[in-house]
Copies of this chain bind each other. A is one copy, B any other.
Amino acid sequence: MSVNQPLCVSMIVIGDEILNGRTTDLNGTWLSKFLFKKGLQLKSLRFIRDDSEEINAALSASMLESDIVITSGGIGPTLDDKTKNTLASYFGKKIVENNDVAKIVTENYIRFGRTWTKESNHYHFFPEDFLATANPKGLAPGITYYSPETNKLIMAGPGVPREFTEIVEVEFFALIKKYFQSRLLENYQTVIRTTGVPEEKIFFELCPTLWSDLEVFGKVSSLPHTIGIDIVVSYNGDEKFHLETQKKIKDLITSTPLSTQVWQYGNTPINELVLKKALEKKCTFGFAESCTGGLTSSKITDLSGSSAVFHGGVISYDNSVKENVLKVKNETLKKVGAVSVEVAEEMAVGLRELLKCDYAVSITGIAGPTGGTPEKPKGTVAIGFAGPKSSGAKLFHFPGDRIRLKDRFSDMALLIMLELIE
């Protein structure tokens, strides 16, 4: 384990659109994951408006607390793009015409099959001593400055997420390596992912000493996830140290009553686990979805390579589709209602026959806000399964609003698909 101070990054997201609720942030979320993997610490993440004074204040605070400052937004050609001018005046640099920058901009345009001239915009006017970078997925150049006096690096990228992520991975990270190579450290986590027990029950009833037992290994956090509680232990070190620590933590948990509730020691999203397992076992699968309305299948098809094993699905939102397409019996629907283990099982069996796939999982539940009854309140879901050897269904209850419940129901369906394939 290294005793170095971790390399700290502050991020500033510039633009009114996120603070006004028009857009959902993607860059901050992405950068947090990226930096974590690279062993850098994201010290803070500030969302501010397109306003020179606010950019200045955020810069001052960020420069104080971190080695590296990354901004996104405000580097385009329109009048609300203030980042370049503000950075120049913050570091006391004049903006001058720069032919090296003109070359980079010309190349950015060529990559898009377009032509740039000095009349197109002012991209080639650039702060003195600043370095422009290519923008692999966009037109505006990245704006960077390394201050040798303070040993700090500032890099301004575009706001569009596909441009931002690429410029950081390719251009900005190369600069971080150049200036801070000796301080790059690896950061690891062991994640204990549970289902079926509330947070308080874990730490106050099942395993009252678990928190302090885990703190021996690193920083502990407890995070509610869609289908249960994730307990995360974070530490710095090398790969060997990580594998040893992971094993020790696993051994510790195995000796507690929590172990039967753990579905993963790791951090792989459930959709990736399902796809990996299906590819490994070379089996095909699909989903019959009612209340989740396609979300479960959408999570699988977010993953490249899913077409090799994912056959497809049926969204049987209306009962007529359950009957006519999935061949759920009308009498079952009448007798026990659409949200029932019986209908869930018939949906899964029907889908498996229709799609001619190895495994089928079905979801039928009440996502609300309406449709709940005292016997089957909002949050009730029946998940059915069918494979070559057996079929069946289970009933679950989850808390949350409609969007949250769709998310929880579909993750639980994925977990059942994982167990089914295994």
Residues of A whose CB lies within 8 Å of any CB of B are 15-25, 28-29, 32-37, 41-50, 54, 57-58, 61, 65, 76-80, 120, 160-162, 189, 199-200, 203-204, 211, 219-224, 230, 232, 234, 267, 284, 286-287, 289, 291-298, 300-302, 304, 306-307, 310-318, 320-321, 324-325, 354-356, 367-371, 399-404, 406
> With A21-B36, A25-B29, A44-B47 known to touch, is A315 a contact of B302 (CB < 8 Å)?
no
> With A301-B294, A317-B307 known to touch, is A21 a contact of B35 (CB < 8 Å)?
yes
B48 contacts A21, CB within 8 Å?
A: no
CB closest residue in chain B, given A325: B354
A61 to B22, CA, bound (A): 25
> With A294-B289, A311-B320, A314-B313 known to touch, is A19 a contact of B48 (CB < 8 Å)?
no
How many copies the complex holds: the figure is 2
A297 contacts B315, CB within 8 Å?
A: yes
B293 contacts A22, CB within 8 Å?
A: no
A289 to B19, CA, bound (A): 34
CB closest residue in chain B, given A58: B44
A293 contacts B304, CB within 8 Å?
A: no
B223 contacts A17, CB within 8 Å?
A: yes
B46 contacts A54, CB within 8 Å?
A: no
B325 contacts A317, CB within 8 Å?
A: no
A287 to B313, CA, bound (A): 12
A21 contacts B45, CB within 8 Å?
A: no
Q: A19-B45, A310-B317, A325-B325 are in contact. List 15 more A-B contacts (CB 8 A).
A: A17-B232, A21-B29, A21-B32, A28-B47, A44-B47, A44-B48, A46-B46, A79-B211, A162-B399, A287-B315, A294-B298, A294-B313, A304-B370, A310-B318, A312-B317
* A390 CB to nearest chain B CB (Å): 24
A223 to B73, CA, bound (A): 11
Interface centre among A61, A200, A234, A318 (most CB of B within 10 A): A318
* A278 CB to nearest chain B CB (Å): 13
